[in-house]
Amino acid sequence: MASSSPVTKFKEHYEENRTFSRQHELPKLPVPPLEETCQRYLKALEGLQDPKDYEETKRAVEDFLKNDGPRIQERLQVWAEDKASYIEEFWYESYLSHSDPVVLALNPFFVLE
């Protein structure tokens, strides 16, 4: 008599039930538009900065959008073309490469070379 326990049923379909076995079928996380990212950044800071500092930050963001931002965004998009996730490697480097017991003090940033 064939066993029909849950373990046996799982073993029959082991490969298709493995974690991440179907991840390649998921759509890639798109690189968000630069303007949207900057607006979200400003919105996050609005309640944390006093009005003077916030205005200075807004000017810095506007300068970034006019000058370096588009070039950096384009480089990120090109870099992300052959990646499953544009942020995965940065995430691993930021959070998993440290041997500190707690990673609460990390402030991740990206450097594109």
Measured CA to CA, the distance from residue 45 to residue 53 in angstroms comes to 10
- pTM of the entire structure? 0.65
Mean pLDDT of all residues belonging to the chain? 83
The verdict on residue 49 lying in a domain is: yes
The verdict on residue 23 lying in a domain is: no
Measured CA to CA, the distance from residue 61 to residue 45 in angstroms comes to 12
pLDDT 10s digits, 7-52: 566 566 666 677 888 888 888 889 999 999 999 999 999 989 999 9
The per-residue pLDDT for 56 is 98
The verdict on residue 1 lying in a domain is: no
The verdict on residue 6 lying in a domain is: no
Q: How many structural domains does the chain have?
A: 1
Domain that holds residue 43: 30-88
The verdict on residue 56 lying in a domain is: yes
The verdict on residue 83 lying in a domain is: yes
The verdict on residue 45 lying in a domain is: yes
